Amino acid sequence: MTQLRILVTGSREWRDYATIRSDLLALLQLSTTGTPVLIQGGQVSRDKGTGERFGADYLAKKAWQDISDESGFQSLHEEVRADWTGPCDLTCTRNHRRPSRGGGTYCPAAGPRRNARMVTEHKPTHALAYPLGDSAGTNDCLRHLRAAGVPVKVWEPSSRPTLRLVHGGAL
């Protein structure tokens, strides 16, 4: 048996805490050894009017902390942030940097590089995905997860939330 390592990826607009919490609890029922680990990208969105924080990364981290606090189980958390304002690498095309809202520029390839690192360096055993609309970053992360053979459950928008298995393997 291996350590349970759950990668969560999803839309910055995701607001459904209960679904993420329920899915994490379901995965925690798997028999594994070692301390379970949550892996996510550290994105946080904030409503300018209310100050409410949301987004799949933020809500996964909050649910993970809440579950750990309430049940007393030991858990680990690995936040893998994209270096948006950092230097480009050899895969970047010339003059592709974009203006950022706070001034300066950012590298649009930083997110995909972070997604690749979350999969290759942090080695998830399972993944949960919460795309909304286009969700380009979530879809990019799903491509890396599928290529690595990681079992993924993807939330499908419909009249009520459902999950479908995207890649083989027991979840």
Reported as a single tens digit per residue, the pLDDT across 118-130 is 999 999 999 999 9
The SS3 of residue 141 is helix
Q: Domain count of the chain?
A: 1
Q: For residue 169, what are its two tokens?
A: 């393997």
Using the predicted structure, report yes or no on whether residue 162 has a pLDDT greater than 60.
no
Binning pLDDT at 50, 70 and 90, where does residue 31 land? low
Tell me, yes or no, whether 170 lies in a domain: no
Q: Hunting for tokens 């799903």 — which residue is that?
A: 142
Can you give the CATH number for the domain in which 62 is found? 3.40.50
Is the pLDDT at 54 greater than 60? The verdict is yes
What tens digit of pLDDT does each residue of 101-120 get? 888 888 888 888 999 999 99
Q: Which residues pair with 126 in a beta bridge?
A: 6
Average pLDDT of the segment spanning 141-150: 96
What mean pLDDT is predicted for residues 137-146? Answer: 95
Residue 63 within a domain: yes
What would the two tokens of residue 170 be? Answer: 């027991």
The distance in angstroms from the start CA to the end CA of the chain is: 14
Domain that holds residue 123: 5-165
